[in-house]
Each structure stands twice: as structure tokens, then as C-alpha cells.
Amino acid sequence: MTRSASTLDRPTLDGPVDPDTLRVSDVVHAADSPDAAWWRQAVIYQIYPRSWSDSDGDGIGDLPGITSRLTYLRDLGVDAVWLSPFYTSPQADAGYDVADYRDVDPLFGTLADADALLETAHGLGIRVIVDLVPNHSSDEHVWFQAALAAAPGSAERDLYMFRDGTGEHGELPPNNWQSVFGGPAWTRTTDADGTPGQWYLHLFDRKQPDFNWENPRVRSEFESVLRFWLDRGVDGFRVDVAHGLIKEQGLPDARERTTMLGDTQSTEGDGTTDGDTADDGVDHRVHTPYWDQDGVHEVYRVWRQVLESYGTPDRILCAEAWVEPQERAVAYVRPDEMHQAFNFDFLTAPWIAHDLRSVIESSLRAADSVGAPSTWVLSNHDVVRHASRLGFEPGHRRQNGIAAGDPQPDRALGLRRARAATTLMLALPGGAYVYQGEELGLPDSTDMPDEFRQDPTFARTAGAETGRDGCRVPLPWVAGAPSNGFGPSDRTWLPQPDVYREYAVDTQVGVEGSTLELYRTLLAGRRDLALGTGSLAFVEGYGSDVVALVNGGREQVLVVANLGAEPVRLPEGAEVLVSSAPLVDDLVPTDTTVWARWA
Ligand code: GLC
């Protein structure tokens, strides 16, 4: 029997904690089979190739740089890596604008370098997932160039979303859709004779034209791209903007614009924004005519078959789909579709015990309803790192980047909470994603001078939205070395803040209590205790500022995350395995998560 959702919504009572009265709830999530497929419990580390490791000193990370440091990830204890795009690209959106899906951009290396990376990773027991960007290509893709050169109504144009404009002379866009990065989602073309022509759709930058997924050639092309990389040995794909491929018939006007974080803003008025996000409790996204259309699922069913034709071990698909509510989001991970989807509800949950508990329970229940594992994620290349995000009090406006003139996060508080949040996350059953640098406790760059900013959002909103550069800064490996050891020169494509040297890998390896050692301990413990395939029940009796649960993996592990000001006591006989911060007088202090063996 399981607890009802209504019980969940009621916060537990405040009051002094008497560990003797603790009570374990009914099981919320049953344990997975001990021999479950690897991806149902994997910890996948996201590498943002531009910023992980630079082998040639040009200031931009590359594939040989990644290969040379893969032993670091073996020692960290991750199961797989996901590489953000390294394909041929003019880099208008840091590689999410692909000009050739079957080649490596010279910035990052060659196909031979990709093969070497795969071979080395596999030799170390690390699986490799690559990014697939099917919603749009670069405008420099040969197909789009051919489409521009061809006439309206041609087969070439039908591979993308070309439409005539509205207004007397077609001078107005076909509808009111706004780009996720700001500004209109349509750009007008110029015909060969210099006269203004049709418009094309780009949900992101104007250099990222959307494909027409109703066209069978687009579908077969992507099946072929999947096979190209599967034949080279990749273990799966992270699918970019998985909820965007199909647009509603007739392209009706939208009621709102979706920003990078999945928030919405009204499109009334001139369509410009002030950077504020809608927070009216209304689920706007369900009816957005370019997101989460039912037709996308057909695409993923076919892809699943392509992957399954490669046999076992499973090759996987992971959806980047900012979809609400959770019942719709889990449709992407039905048994014949993708394997995983990012859990953005967990990522966006505020540092409030009731909210965290609620999202943990609803995520597990939603995933269980389709037989998929839940996933957990706190940071990625599109959001403010959690060590910075949690340095603000809950309720602080969710930001797309932090600029020097903005209120600054409390760095120490953010790190303390980030460590506690990760210690909670890595105790949860399912898959987990770790974004490069979070294992160092790295904060965002929050004082980057504007002239360095490269995220198209910054320019397209005239600076109203700071954008994502702050979470994409090259990693510090060796404190005080040129580029803090990112590469052999002092060049970095985005400037490293001075404080980054304090977080460098070499200052943390083997140092007790360092964030890197905490992650290593957590990942090793998670594996040894089989937490990824464990069951989950909540522990009742702590105050409303505590998330307490039991993961029944290989044995019973009690997890206590104390978000309140008052320290809390562990039950008699609980043996502490790991703690995100030192215990004080045997008590779990504020903003600390503990794992304990509990018979
Ligand atoms: C995804 C990526 C993001 C990119 C966008 C457009 O959201 O994570 O970085 O800008 O898609 O491809």
C-alpha cells in the first residue's frame, strides 16, 4: 500500500524532535531489481567540452583534453559521461547550432579524436552519451543553405519551417511566437534579387532554424545520424529540446513566450520582456503550440527501435523536455520511448523541506506509473549552478544568470546548502546527473564583465537577461597555474573569476572534507549500498524543516536533510556513513544532510 498524495501535501508538525517516536511511512517507491539495466541507476557526469580541459592552449576545451583527463572521472566514480555538442558548428549557441551532425568541429578535434575518447572511456568502464540536437540545425547546414537558395514551396524549403509573412506585403511575421532567447521567433529571408522573401521559424537564435518534422526526410536523416554515432560506439543520446519538434497544425498564436528556464512570460504588448518570470501558479506550457505536442512521441518510438536494434547493453535516450505537469513529462519515458528524462522539477525546487519532499515523492510516483526510473539533477550548462542558486534565500527570483550589478549570492551559504542538496540527491533511487565542476563546489561567475558574454540571450534581450555564461566558465584544475590548469596557456574563452583558484582540483584531491572528496565518498557509497536501485519511504516525526527518508538498497540507509535552524538528533543506534558538514555534538546542524546505517 502507498500513501496518498493528499497526505504528502500536509507538512509535518513543528516541535522538538524525539527520535524515539520516528515512524517510517509506507513505501513510496519499491526497490528496482538488483540486476536492473545500468541506466536505471547510473550517475552521469555532464562535460561541457568548451570548458572542461584544453589540450592545445587556444582557450577552448577539446576532445583530446577530455580524453587526457578521463581517469579523474573514473576516480570520481561516475558511470557515464554526457558530452554537450562537439559537432561542426559556427558556435552561435556554443555548438547547439549544428552544421554537420556527422563530424567534429575543428575547435574540438577530429572524428579520430572522438573515436579515441570513446575507446579510452570504455577502457576505463565509463559509458559515453552524446548530445543530439534535432529541433533545429545551424543556418550554415547545407540543407538550410539549399533551402534559402530554393524557391518558396520547394522540397528544399519544406525541410524547415518557411512561411509567407502576414500584413499587406508579408512584412509581418507569420504569427506572434517569440524566441526562447528573446525577440521574435521568425526571421525574414531576402530573395536572390534582393527583395524581401519568406520568413523562417527559429524557436532559439536566428542562426538556429527549426526543422520541419512532418517531412519524412528529416525523420530518416536523424535515424541515420543516430546510427552513425551508434556505429562508432556511443552508449546513448541526450536529446536537446525533445518537446519542441512538432508544432501545432496551423501554427496558431501563442499566449506566452517560454524563457530558457522553462518559465513563461506573456506575449501581450510588444513581446519584449523585463526579465521577470511568470509565477502565477498557472500551467501555461500545456497549451503552448510549439511545446509538447503529442506527435513528438511517434519520433521517439522509432528511435527506441533503432537503439534496440543494437542489442544489449542498452543504448539510451534521455529527454531534455521542460514539460509540465509531471504526468505529461513521464510520457517521454514510457516503455517504448526514451529511457530517461531530466527532472527539472527537482532542479527548480526551492530549498524548503516540504517542497523537496513533495517533488521527490511526486517524481517517483510519476516515473513509477510508466515503469521508468526517476532522474535527479541540480545543475547543468543552462542554469545558475546550485552552489550559487542556493546562496539566496528561497523565494529569490529564479534568474537566468547573475550579473555584477545584481544582488550577489552568499558563497559560503550556497556551498553549504549545495553540499547538503547533493548528499540528498545522491541518496535517491534512480539515475542522477552531475554537472562538471559541481564536484568542486564551483559557484557561477557572478561578476563577468558584459563584453565577454556570449550567450545569445544577452544580446537578443539587450542585456535584460544576463544569460548562461556564468555557469560555463572553464574549470580550474591546478590553482595558480596559467588558466588554473585548464590548458597549457593562460587563455580561457570566458574569464575565470579570481575565486576559482580556491576550488581547483589539486587543492581538493585527498583533502578531508573537501567537496571533491565528499562527492567521491557519496558516489562510492551510493554504489556500495545500491542506493540507485533502492526503495524509498519517508521518516515521519522530524519537524517541517527536515527531509528524512529511508532508502532500502543493499541495507537500510537513513537520510536526514536538516534545512532548519535547529540541529536535529539521529535515532539511537544510527551509524553515520557520510555527512555533508561536520556534526555538532552528535547533532545534524543546519543545512546538512547525513546518511546513516539504520538497522
Ligand atoms: C537546450 C540546450 C541549450 C540550448 C538550447 C537550444 O535547451 O540545453 O543549451 O541553447 O537547447 O539548442
Question: For the domain that residue 233 is a member of, what is the CATH number?
Answer: 3.20.20.80
Write out the H or E segment, with its range, that includes residue 8: helix 5-9
Read off the C-alpha cell for 565: 535552524
Is residue 380 located within the same domain as residue 477?
yes
Query: Ligand 1: which of 130, 137, 323, 382 to mutate, judged by most atoms within 8 Å of the beta carbon?
Result: 382
> Residue 559 pairs with which residues in a beta bridge?
549, 595
Atom from ligand 1 closest to the CA of residue 133: 12
Task: Note the pTM of the prediction, 2 decimals.
Answer: 0.94
**Is 271 contained in some domain?**
no
- 476's CB contacts (< 8 A; 6+ apart) are 440, 442, 484, 485, 486, 496, 500, 501, 503, 504, 505
Please tell me the predicted confidence (pLDDT) of residue 18. Answer: 67
Q: Is residue 283 a part of any domain in this protein?
A: no
| Pair (340, 234) in one structural domain | yes
Same-domain pairing of 502 and 576: no
User: Is 441 found in the same domain as 357?
Assistant: yes
Look up the CATH number of the domain holding residue 563: 2.60.40.1180
Residue 119 Cα, ligand 1 centroid: separation in angstroms?
Answer: 27
Same domain, 351 and 416: yes
Is 343:376 a contact under the CB 8 Å cutoff?
yes
Q: Is residue 315 part of a domain?
A: yes
463, 490, 520 - which closes a domain: 520
pLDDT of residue 591: 98
For residues 297 and 374, state if they share a domain.
yes
C-alpha cell at position 273: 520582456
Q: What are phi and psi of 222, to 5 degrees?
A: -70, -30
- Give a yes or no: residue 321 inside a domain: yes
Same domain, 510 and 444: yes
Q: Are residues 320 and 462 in the same domain?
A: yes
How many domains does the chain divide into? 3
Distance 96 CA to ligand 1 centre (A): 6
Nearest alpha carbon to residue 219 among 134, 146, 333: 134
240 is catalytic: yes
Q: How far apart are CA 528 and CA 532, in angstroms?
A: 10
Can you give the residue range of the structural domain that contains 60?
A: 41-135+215-249+292-520
Contacts of 217 (CB under 8 A, 6+ apart): 159
Task: Describe the crossing of helices 296-308 and 216-232 by its angle, rounded to 10 degrees.
Answer: 30
Of the residues 320, 337, 361, 545, only one is catalytic, namely 320
- 513 and 368 in a common domain: yes
All 3 cell numbers of residue 14? 513543528
Helices 411-425 & 515-528, crossing angle to 10 degrees? 10
Is 259 domain-assigned?
no
Domain match, 231 and 339 both: yes
Length of the chain: 599
> Which triple of cell numbers denotes residue 210?
527549426
Q: Which residue, judged by its Cα, is nearest atom 12 of ligand 1? A: 96
Residues with Cβ within 8 Å of residue 395, at least 6 apart in sequence: 350
Which of 96, 181, 469, when mutated, tests ligand 1's pocket best, judged by the most ligand atoms within 8 Å of its CB?
96
Question: Residue type for 69, please?
Answer: R
469 lines ligand 1 (CB under 6 A): no
Q: For residue 241, how far is its CA from the centre of ligand 1 (angstroms)?
A: 7
CATH number at residue 196: 3.90.400.10
Mutate to test the pocket of ligand 1, among 131, 201, 204, 318 (most ligand atoms within 8 A of CB): 204
Residues 495 and 569 in one domain: no
Name which of 217, 272, 218, 213 is nearest 247 in CA terms: 213
Residue 374 DSSP one-character state: P
Q: Are residues 94 and 167 in the same domain?
A: no
Task: Give catalytic status of residue 406 as yes or no.
Answer: no
pLDDT at position 285: 47
The pLDDT tens digits along the chain (599 residues) read 233 333 333 333 344 456 678 999 999 999 999 889 999 999 999 999 999 999 999 999 999 999 999 999 999 999 999 999 999 999 999 999 999 999 999 999 999 999 999 999 999 999 999 999 999 999 999 999 999 999 999 999 999 999 999 999 999 999 999 999 999 999 999 998 999 999 999 999 999 999 999 999 999 999 999 999 999 999 999 999 999 999 999 999 998 766 655 565 655 443 333 333 334 444 444 579 999 999 999 999 999 999 999 999 999 999 999 999 999 999 999 999 999 999 999 999 999 999 999 999 999 999 999 999 999 999 999 999 999 999 999 988 888 999 999 999 999 999 999 999 999 999 999 999 999 999 999 999 999 999 999 999 999 999 999 999 999 999 999 999 999 999 999 999 999 999 999 999 999 999 999 999 999 999 999 999 999 999 999 999 999 999 999 999 999 999 999 999 999 999 999 999 999 999 999 999 999 999 999 98
DSSP 8-state secondary structure symbol assigned to residue 502: G
Decide if 377 is inside a domain: yes
The domain boundary, picked from 491, 520, 549, lies at: 520
Please tell me the distance between residue 404's alpha carbon and the centre of ligand 1 in angstroms. 24
| Residue 455 CB–ligand 1 contact under 6 Å | no
